[in-house]
Chains A and B, each alone.
Chain A
């Protein structure tokens, strides 16, 4: 499925006037400032912005790992702000994938066990064909019985992405998934994510500081001081750099 920017697509997740405020009074930090953003289905979005601009906060709040102070966060048709702790957990398990910067895997479980972890927690077998397909796509089919400490950082991150994909969630959030690896390894991980969007129709939102990484996305959203300040479609490293210098200036 290919997408044209003009065509209106179904929204996988969105934030409506979402604010996140840490502390109060003098120490108050407005990490998200009445942010409105929507992520369409089947697209790969990159989020960029200076350090401390609220990127991680946005990811956490949208994935149900943290709550917003005001406003709404909606995944599919579900308003996260109305959910109980338990329902939030189940939503994360069944409808959301998350990839952290590093240490995404449970060290006592093998790669394949890590991949099927959310399904095992749900007590379901999941779609085994789909899992096989995902594993095939990671290029790690022969290493799935290994434990995380026997895999390289890049391989570990690919396993983490595979886990996010395995449950066919509505959306995957990745917070600097390539922040800890060299550029070749980064290319492997990003290529994998890109193909997940293209071939599997996954929706992915990724935070990154790297214009090259961001150029794998369909759309780049720029965040400054908890607000969306700019947006770029069909990005290339060059256009991204231009926007960044503009914003920095």
Chain B
């Protein structure tokens, strides 16, 4: 039987190649994503060790939640205390700040496209000067060798540097390698280092340090010194060893890698899932074609078990071979992704790719598993083929009855929908939510696929009606062939359906978010100018110097400026970290309209005030006048009074405090955003006067902004435009990524078409013999593909729209308030899938046209 299986594979090289290709793609994605992220992890582990190497021990404030840059500082007195502990040879205060941009000779800020722009106090433990000297005086700085080389920064020249507070000129006095003396360890970040006191002043962190690095005296025992320091400093501080420091850094990096890994795995999962459809389809067709052959085996004495074993063996060979190829190509994919990362600004240090045993096991599970599972149903069918089948001409494999399909498929679909709904609404933790959503999506698709053959025949013949009406016999035959085997049409379309459904979902959710933003911009925006970082790209924009806001505020044309800062996990209430926004509470209701439903933001003492979105207020069970115990990342707890509850979370999120309260608990001084109102605008009579005022004020504001190369200002119309185009870009990127599954679906269509052409060889020979031209034959195959693809497209878009609307409804109101369906996009998707179908048909059509007529006729 093994011989037979092998023989049938060799005989049908093309079919084998196409099936293999599909599995290879699935395996490739899995291997590629794991290999890349494993390699990233080991790279980051190295980087973390380099970062930690500068000190034997590090002293930090103990932090229970919040980010590194939100941690409370170590006061100067404590640093001195550390220096005095026995066994401490050197206590070196360390300082770091985000968003410190060096401006190059041409006035362009050097902006790493993804990684941060960092400022430091010069730390001889991990910054190794290669040229020049370390900064020792005010007005001096050093930068890393890579940033200098990439931007042609030269020692002795003076550069403007954008700090958290202001832009100031500094002279470049030295270049250094970070992490090791011989080579710079970097992931694309830019680094500017200053003398310690100068850094404190420039960063606006005069009252302390982020950490104190400790070098122990020669001969002293590190853990003894650690114990002494812990005893001396008490519970408010942590004293950590180099290893722990490295491990913690690594963990921070790994959180990023994990997100990346998850994204890649989602694509791998989609790829595998789509592949499974195609593989299953292929085996079904192959068995269908081999009915006579199998009948013959049975007639000459092969047992049913032997027959199904041969089918399984065939799939095992396909699975094993494609797993091996897939692993190879997965490594290539990882290299490719690394190259892409480098192009978009995350250069990774070159290193070997890490292929872990876990990855190989997973690849086997996917490659072998999917093929084997996909071939079980066909194997069972094959087993049922009777010897008599060998004799009859058009024996059809007993397809599942359509009614039974409707019932079981409907049940699976319903289960999927319930699971999706539960995932979206139950408000569980991330992991169970994703599991519910994933399982729900899979069930829904499988259910759809089970049910869809019921519609396939009527849909295909309806879709094919114009083909028949306007394109004569070729159109007619294309339509007939598309509706000939509804199960096949449905599952070929199914591969397309998945990609399209996901694209449709993204489109609907995206459009809803866009419309929501539109609405907010229409209704909530009151200010006239918006100031933020000029950086473009994905993710939250970096901060900008606070000085900009002061200067704009000082303009006579400007009535008021509101400064906004924010932090993820910036506040802990009832033991849970909350994202917060800080703004001038007196202006908050004036520059934007968050739809305050009770209370008044401007009413009370800003240092004890808190404004809440109604959702948060409800879940805490508080209202205006009630108090809330809030802990900040610097470990201090304050009793805040709720002064207002608002309904629109789009601008201020769920938790809003005053800038003054922020300043007393956070070390970050740069601004995330600022808005300005023009004086006298509301009092201005007539549009002409308003326009004149706006023009005059714009000129004044521009004059300030022009001095700060990292900052930009927008009026209402521009602001709106930017918001929209950013959203559109994000949605497009997501859709393009999902569109990758199209490529797989394309192979699926090629596969199915070639197989069904192969199945009809005799018929094609016949048509050619009675005078069908090659062109007509090709055209009939194009029609068939087109009908199948449009069927898949319509179904996918319909499913995607339903899921999209459901998702949009389930999303929190701060995200989506209006559910909108982008009809044009959906039509475009169907057109895209039609084009994909046509592309897929080219090869099979050409092959069919080239077939020798007599050979074809002789073929049964």
Contact = CB atoms under 8 A, between A and B. Distances in A.
A92 interface: yes
Interface in B763-796: 763, 766-774, 776
Interface string A60-85: 10010110000000000000000001
Contacts of A121: 472-473, 767, 770-773, 776
26 contacts: A65-B853, A66-B854, A85-B774, A86-B774, A89-B771, A89-B773, A90-B771, A90-B773, A92-B770, A92-B771, A93-B770, A93-B772, A98-B769, A100-B766, A103-B393, A103-B766, A106-B477, A106-B767, A107-B763, A108-B477, A121-B472, A122-B771, A123-B472, A123-B473, A149-B394, A163-B770
Which 7 pairs show the lowest CB-CB distances between chains A and B? A93-B771, A108-B480, A120-B473, A92-B771, A89-B773, A118-B771, A118-B770
Contacts of B847: none
A106 B771 contact: no
Given A65-B854, A89-B772, A103-B860, 19 more contacts: A60-B854, A65-B853, A66-B853, A86-B774, A89-B768, A89-B771, A89-B773, A89-B774, A90-B771, A93-B771, A98-B769, A100-B766, A105-B766, A108-B477, A108-B480, A117-B473, A118-B770, A122-B771, A123-B473
Chain B: interface secondary structure?
A: helix
A40 interface: no
A106 B780 CA distance: 14
B857 interface: yes
B484 interface: yes
Contacts of B860: 103
Interface in B345-377: none
A109 interface: yes
Interface size bracket, A side:
20 to 34
B281 interface: no
Contacts of A185: none
Contacts of A108: 477, 480-481, 484
Given A107-B763, A120-B473, A121-B473, A65 B394 contact: no
A104 B766 contact: yes
Contact of B762 (A86, A103, A122): A103
A114 to B, nearest CB: 9
A94 interface: yes
Interface residues of B, number: 25
B697 to A, nearest CB: 72
Contacts of A85: 774
Q: Which of A65, A90, A149: most chain B Cβ within 10 A?
A: A65
B763 A98 contact: no
Contact of A100 (B472, B473, B767, B857): B857
Contacts of B770: 92-93, 98, 117-118, 121, 163
Interface string B607-623: 00000000000000000
A117 B768 CA distance: 11
Nearest to B480: A108
Contacts of A103: 393, 762, 766, 860
Contacts of B472: 120-121, 123
Contacts of A92: 769-771
Interface in B837-860: 853-854, 857, 860
A205 B769 CA distance: 16
A86 B854 contact: no
A187 B393 CA distance: 24
A163 B772 CA distance: 14
Contacts of A86: 773-774
Nearest to A100: B857
A65 B763 contact: no
